[in-house]
Amino acid sequence: MATMQDVARLARVSVSTVSYALTGARPISQATRAKVLAAMAELDYQPNAMARGLASRRSRILGLLLPMDERGLGATETAFVTGAAAAASAAGYHLMLSPIGVGDLDELRRLASQRMLDGALLMEVQLHDPRVDVLRELGVPLVLIGRTADTDGLSYVDIDFDQTVRAAVGHLVDLGHRRIVYVNHSADTLAEGYGPALRTRDAFTAAMTGHGLEPLMIPAEDSAAGGRAALATALRRAPDLTAILAMNESAVFGLLGELATRGRSVPDDVSVVSMVTSPQVAELATPALTAMSSPGSAVGRIAIETLLRHVDAGDGQINQQLMPCALEVRGSSGPPRTEGKPTEAARRRAATRRRA
C-alpha cells in the first residue's frame, strides 16, 4: 500500500506538497500538480483514512442513528436512507449505521466521544429525544429526520403532516364523505411521544373541525391484527362511517382484509386513504390504495446536505424543512354510496368484471 511518502519521492517533491496538491489547501503550480497526480496514478495511491482523520480531526464519517425494531424498514424509511447514502457518498463522506434508539444513550455517548463522527443524522425522532441533548453536549453537529417538540436551533427535514392530513381529508370531503375515521399508530406509540402520530392526530382534528365534521381517531397496533381490531372498533363507534384515513401502513392491510371479510366493498361501501405511503406499497393492496405519497429519497438527501453545511461551516444556519406528500388517487377511494344509485366506481368495477 503506497503512502504519501512514496508519492512524494516518486514525484520529487515534499510530502506537504503532495498533500496540498491533493486537498487544494494551498496553491500548487500546474506542473507540480501534474507530476504529483501522475505519481499517485502510477502507485495506485489512496490516502489512508485513519491517518487523514487523525491529522485533520475530521473522520468524514456521518452517523446514521436509526433504531431498528423487528418490524423492518418500510419503503418510506428505506428511501430516506438511500437518499442519505447517495448524498453522503457524492460528497465524499461515509455513513456509519448505528441502530441507536433513545434507549442506548451510553452507547451513543461512547460513539460520539470517540471522535469518529463528524455529524449525525437522527431518524425515528421522538418529541422529547434525549439523543439530541447528548449530541449537542458533545458538540456533534446533527440534523433530524422528523422533529422534536422544541426545534429551537435544530435543523430538520420532516414530512409536512399538517398539509398531508389536510389534503387527504380534503380529498375525501370533496368526494362527499362526512363520516371519516382516522386510524393512527398504537396508543403506546402515542403515549411514547412519537411525533408523526401526535401531529397527524392534531392535524386531523383541525381539518375535520374546519370542515364542520366530527373527528374520530382510533389507535391501532402496527400489525394486520391491529388493523382488524381497529376496524371493529371504528364500526362500533361510527357505524355510519364511509371513509377511513390510515396512518399505519401495517394496519391498513388488516383493515382491508377485515373489510373484505365483512363483505364491505372498497371503495363503494368504505373509502380508504393511506398516509405517507410509497407507490410500491400502495400498489400491493387490492384495490390499490389511494395514498399520500411520501417524498422519498429527497428527504435523506436534503438532510445530509444540511448536515454537511453544519459540519463544514461550523454550524451554518439552521434549516427547517417540511416536505409535502402528494395525493395519488388509486382505486381505494371514491364517492360514498348514495341510496339507490350505484357509484361511478361501482359501475367501473362491474364493467371490469364483465370483461374478465
Q: Which does 186 bind (CB under 5 to 8 A by kind): a copy of itself, DNA, none?
A: none
Smallest gap from residue 318 Cβ to a copy of itself (A): 25
User: With binding defined as CB under 7 A, does residue 1 bind DNA?
Assistant: yes
* Nearest distance, CB of residue 58 and DNA, angstroms: 7
Q: Does 17 bind DNA (CB under 7 A)?
A: yes
Within residues 43-72, the interface with DNA by CB under 7 A covers 45-48, 51-52, 54-57
In the bound state with a copy of itself, the residue whose beta carbon lies nearer, of 3 and 319, is: 3
Is residue 288 a contact residue for a copy of itself (CB under 8 A)?
yes
Interacting residues with DNA between 246 and 265 (CB under 7 A):
none
Amino acid of residue 323? M
49 scored as a contact of a copy of itself (CB under 8 A):
yes
**3 state SS for the chain:** CCCHHHHHHHHCCCHHHHHHHHHCCCCCCHHHHHHHHHHHHHHCCCCCHHHHHHHHCCCCEEEEECCCCCCCCCHHHHHHHHHHHHHHHHCCCEEEEECCCCCCHHHHHHHHHCCCCCEEEECCCECCCHHHHHHHHCCCCEEEECCCCCCCCCEEEEECHHHHHHHHHHHHHHHCCCCEEEEECCHHHHHHCEHHHHHHHHHHHHHHHHCCCCCEEEECCCCHHHHHHHHHHHHHHCCCCCEEEECCHHHHHHHHHHHHHCCCCCCCCCEEEEEEECHHHHHHCCCCCEEEECCCHHHHHHHHHHHHHHHHCCCCCCCEEEECCEEECCCCCCCCCCCCCCCHHHHHHHHHHHHC
The residue among 31 and 356 lying less far from a copy of itself, judged by its C-beta, is 356
Q: Nine-digit cell at 267?
A: 371503495
Residue of 12, 110, 136, 347 that binds a copy of itself (CB under 8 A)? 110
Please select the residue that binds a copy of itself; options are 7, 61, 216, 270, rule is CB under 8 A: 61
Interaction between residue 23 and DNA (CB under 7 A)? yes
Q: Among a copy of itself, DNA, none, what binds residue 16 when CB lies within 5 to 8 Å by partner kind?
A: DNA
Part in contact with a copy of itself (CB under 8 A); list of ranges 15-23, 54-62, 196-204, 319-327: 54-62
Cell of 37: 497526480
Residue 220 binds to a copy of itself (criterion: CB under 8 A): no
Residues that bind DNA (CB under 7 A): 1, 3-5, 12-17, 19-20, 22-23, 25-33, 45-48, 51-52, 54-57
User: Can you give the binding site for a copy of itself, defined by CB under 8 A?
Assistant: 1, 44, 46-51, 53-54, 59, 61, 64, 68, 70-79, 81-82, 85-86, 89, 94-99, 107, 110-111, 113-116, 223-225, 250, 253-254, 256-258, 260-262, 278, 280, 283-288, 297, 353, 356
